[in-house]
Structure 1
Amino acid sequence: GSGGWSSNGCSVQNITDNETTCGCNHLTSFAILLILTYITYIGCGVSAIFLSITLLTYLAFKLRKDIPSKILIQLCLALLMLNLVFLVDAWLALYPDAEGLCISTAWFLHYFLIAAFTWMGLEAVHMYVALVKVFNLNVSHYMLKFSLAGWPMIVVIIVISIDKNNYGLVQYGKFNDGTTDDL
């Protein structure tokens, strides 16, 4: 009732003269985890709001004509989708029996994270070409090629086709009573 460490679910793994190693099937430092969770949700929420404002501004005022604007729109979209899936992730975790839901959420998180990194890299490539190259390069279907590279669906398709268990529930740790932690 007064807080502290709970010994329920814990067992002694090894005892030496200098240290005792215990294994527990739960975590008890929930206050820190709860604070970090709130900070994460607030940060992702604020980020999603301003990414939405950026997208709406570029789309409403027709600022999407030049290539840097198109790349920025794609980057904002990838980051927005990543934030939204991340925010919905905790709510979806309330349904532990829905294995397909867990796998699809992990798949979308992986996909949008890769897409965000790829669009950041493509932004850098475009800036290099625009600012460093002396001669103007004329690449046909420039944005089409960037879009194919920027939305790398093939990566997550390969990962899930190798083994569908790459996404979803993972068991780690093994305790004396034969139980494991699920993640």
Structure 2
Amino acid sequence: SGGWNSDGCVVQTTTENETTCSCNHLTSFAILLILTFITYIGCGVSAIFLAFTLLTYLLFKLRKDIPSKILIHLCFALLLLNLVFLVDAWLALYTDAVGLCISTAWFLHYFLLASFTWMGLEGVHMYMALVKVFNSHIAHYMLKVPMVVVIIVIAVDINNYGLVSYGKYTDGTTDEL
């Protein structure tokens, strides 16, 4: 049924801000910690190989044709997405900086949309190169769609990025400041 199991747990220390417990069993928090650890390792390894791919394409001047340009943009968007995601946990320590939280959310949203857009353009270009028999060209199909989406989200409501309330506690209070 889930929840915290206090059997086998002993309080080690208690202060005004923190309580440390020692338990002889694992809970879902341990699984979340392991998954977080694996996520950061995966993002770090991904960022290293994305940087390696970018350096290879840029140093050997493999950026002349459209497929190479799309791949470079995709790798760059994924690299920046990974880097913002990796520093996000560190930036979350600064809880007083609401602007920092909003800008981090904006960058995460933008680079995620940019990655999806470049992946979509990669698929369109593969379709045009491999499946389409007739030699046709669609002009200006490498547009900056992610920026348009983020601007629309901000225009609808400026508070879409930033701190949110996740609900009420059992005693009727909320997590709002």
TM-score by length of 1: 0.78
**Aligned counterparts of 2:155 and 2:93: Cα–Cα separation in 1:** 27
In structure 1, list runs of 5 or more residues that go unmatched.
Answer: 5-27
Instruction: Provide the residue aligned with 1:39 in structure 2.
Output: 38
Q: After superposition, what is the alpha-carbon deviation per residue over 1:28-54, rounded to whole angstroms, capped at 9, x for unaligned?
A: 743222111110100000000000000
| 1:94 corresponding residue in structure 2 | 93
**Matched residue pairs, number?**
155
Report whether the alignment pairs 1:175 with 2:173.
Answer: no
1:165 aligns with 2:156: no
1:67 aligns with 2:61: no
1:162 Cα offset (Å): 1.6
Partner of 2:9: 3
Note closer, same or farther for the CA distance 1:64–1:3 as it changes in structure 2 (3 Å cut): farther
Task: Give 5+ residue unaligned stretches, structure 2.
Answer: 1-5, 11-26
Q: CA RMSD in A?
A: 2.1
1:127 aligns to what SS in structure 2?
A: helix
Percentage of pairs with the same residue:
78
Q: Which letter does structure 1 place at the counterpart of 2:119? A: M
What is the aligned partner in structure 2 of residue 107 from structure 1?
106
Deviates more, 1:45-54 or 1:158-167: 158-167
**Residue 153 in structure 1 maps to residue 152 in structure 2:** no
Secondary structure of residue in 2 paired with 1:171: coil
- TM-score computed with the length of structure 2 as normaliser: 0.80
User: Which amino acid in 1 is paired with 2:51?
Assistant: S
Higher relative CO (Cα under 8 Å, sequence separation at least 6) belongs to 1
Q: Report the Cα offset of residue 152 of structure 1.
A: 2.1
